[in-house]
Amino acid sequence: MDIPQHIPPEIVSAQDYEALGLKRLPADLAAWLAGGSAEEWTLRRNREAFGEVGLRNSICRVPSGVDTRLPLLGQTLPHPLLLAPVANHGLVHPEGEIATAQGAEAVLAALVLSSQANTPLEQVAGHVSRRWMQLYWQQTPERTLRLIRRAEDAGYSALVLTLDAPVQALSRGAQRQGFALPAHLGHPNLEPAVRREAASGQSPIDVLLQEAATLESLDFILGNTSLPVLVKGVMESDDAVELLGHGVHGLIVSNHGGRALDGVSASLEALPRIRQAVGDGATLLFDGGIRSGHDVFKALALGADAVLIGRLQLYALAVAGPLGVAHMLKILHEELQLCMALTGCATVEEIGPHTLRLDRA
């Protein structure tokens, strides 16, 4: 696919990247990227939930300026936009995750690198100063620790342990399109999986479940790194409270963009109940369904400290490379600033439920 080095003039919103990206990508890649699991009920709910939340304008208290800076895990971020861990950027851009990292760096966004990236994490590190590393449990403590040490040595400043997808199925659309990872793209951050034969009576899912992360795995990770550890995939308040009890440094409310368990609620619906359960002090990030700066604002108002941007980054990468990623994030940032100005919020801290209209009266 030819990636233009300019921004197509018809792009004026982040969603334009989605529309154009889906048009330009080969059908199998588009299906892999856009799809969700099973009947895609959760995938649809992730978007619908944003449409059910209205905003309240403030005409009597207009701030004299808006400041999107925020403290997060001991650092100051210029804005609350991070790039979510998304696998296989090499599918949509020849430079893969390096191109994404360059786009993130241009707008000072943090990149959460997927452990299923097509580029060694050490190479990505040279292109983005704010970088976190996502991981799944790697079958054994030793294998997991080797990945963590690589991330530490390469200056990643936080670990994101994804717990919501110990087993996963390709979307039905991607299956129908015959999606498969091309042979030239590998996962250089992962050691080859040790294949275990299923014992008699064991299904392939049973085999995977034998190696899934447990709370003991989480404790092991927490006890063996000095980096802050966030858990991604939290949708229920009781899990949130339990995880904080284990000492995790932050939670990411996420349903994997509707790609894990179909039937769980929209992540935007889970957000306020989790914020309520964990209290104001806990670090709570959010992803799922964000397609505009207005969506970012709503997530912050419902309790997120910061948000992660998933599919949009690959649509932007497919359409205009690093420039597209930077431009997409810039659009979200400017729309967030606009919402803050018109709702009377001078700082992100001031964004709260009082800025929302949840009824239709």
Ligand X SMILES: Cc1cc2nc3c(=O)[nH]c(=O)nc-3n(C[C@H](O)[C@H](O)[C@H](O)COP(=O)(O)O)c2cc1C
Q: Which residue among 269, 287, 305, 335 contacts ligand X (CB under 6 A)?
A: 287
Q: Which of residues 123-152 bind ligand X (CB under 6 A)?
A: 134
Give 22 or 309: the residue with its C-beta nearer to ligand X. Answer: 309
Q: Which of residues 163-222 bind ligand X (CB under 6 A)?
A: none
- Minimum distance from CB of 71 to ligand X (Å)? 23
# residues near ligand X by CB under 6 A: 22
80 binds ligand X (CB under 6 A): no
Q: Which residue among 289, 303, 322, 324 contacts ligand X (CB under 6 A)?
A: 289
Task: Tell me which residue of 86, 74, 71 sits closest to 315, measured CA to CA.
Answer: 86
3-state secondary structure of 124: helix
102 binds ligand X (CB under 6 A): no
Q: Which of residues 239-278 bind ligand X (CB under 6 A)?
A: 254, 256-257, 259
Give 187 or 344: the residue with its C-beta nearer to ligand X. Answer: 187
Give 37 or 102: the residue with its C-beta nearer to ligand X. Answer: 37
Pick left, alpha or beta for residue 56 (phi over 0 → left; psi -120 to 50 → alpha; otherwise beta): beta
For residue 345, CA distances in Å to 57, 80, 247, 310, 338 come to 10, 15, 32, 26, 10
Q: Which residue among 53, 66, 73, 87 contacts ligand X (CB under 6 A)?
A: 87
- Minimum distance from CB of 290 to ligand X (Å)? 5
Q: Which residue among 96, 250, 288, 324 contacts ligand X (CB under 6 A)?
A: 288
- Minimum distance from CB of 225 to ligand X (Å)? 18
33 binds ligand X (CB under 6 A): yes
Q: Which residue among 125, 163, 290, 339 contacts ligand X (CB under 6 A)?
A: 290
Q: What is the DSSP code string of 317-337?
A: HHHHHHHHHHHHHHHHHHHHH
Query: CB nearest ligand X: which residue?
Result: 310
Q: Which of residues 296-355 bind ligand X (CB under 6 A)?
A: 309-311
Task: Tell me which residue of 201, 211, 258 sits closest to 235, measured CA to CA.
Answer: 258
> Which residue type does 144 have?
T
Question: Catalytic one among 89, 187, 256, 327?
Answer: 256
| Residue in the block written with tokens 């100051």 | 76
Give 289 or 322: the residue with its C-beta nearer to ligand X. Answer: 289
DSSP H helical ranges for the chain: 14-24, 27-34, 41-51, 97-106, 121-125, 141-153, 172-176, 204-210, 215-223, 237-245, 267-278, 293-301, 311-343
Q: Which residue among 102, 162, 189, 355 contacts ligand X (CB under 6 A)?
A: 162
Say which residues have a Cβ less than 8 Å from residue 167's Cβ, sequence separation at least 6: 205, 208, 209, 212
For residue 125, CA distances in Å to 82, 99, 111, 193 come to 15, 12, 10, 24
Pairing outcome for strands 54-55 and 356-357: antiparallel
Catalytic status, residue 93: no
For residue 71 the two structure tokens come to 């403290």
Give 66 or 260: the residue with its C-beta nearer to ligand X. Answer: 260
For residue 135 the two structure tokens come to 């991981």
Q: Which residues are known to be catalytic?
A: 256
The site for ligand X (CB under 6 A) is made up of 33, 46, 84-87, 114, 116, 134, 162, 232, 254, 256-257, 259, 287-290, 309-311
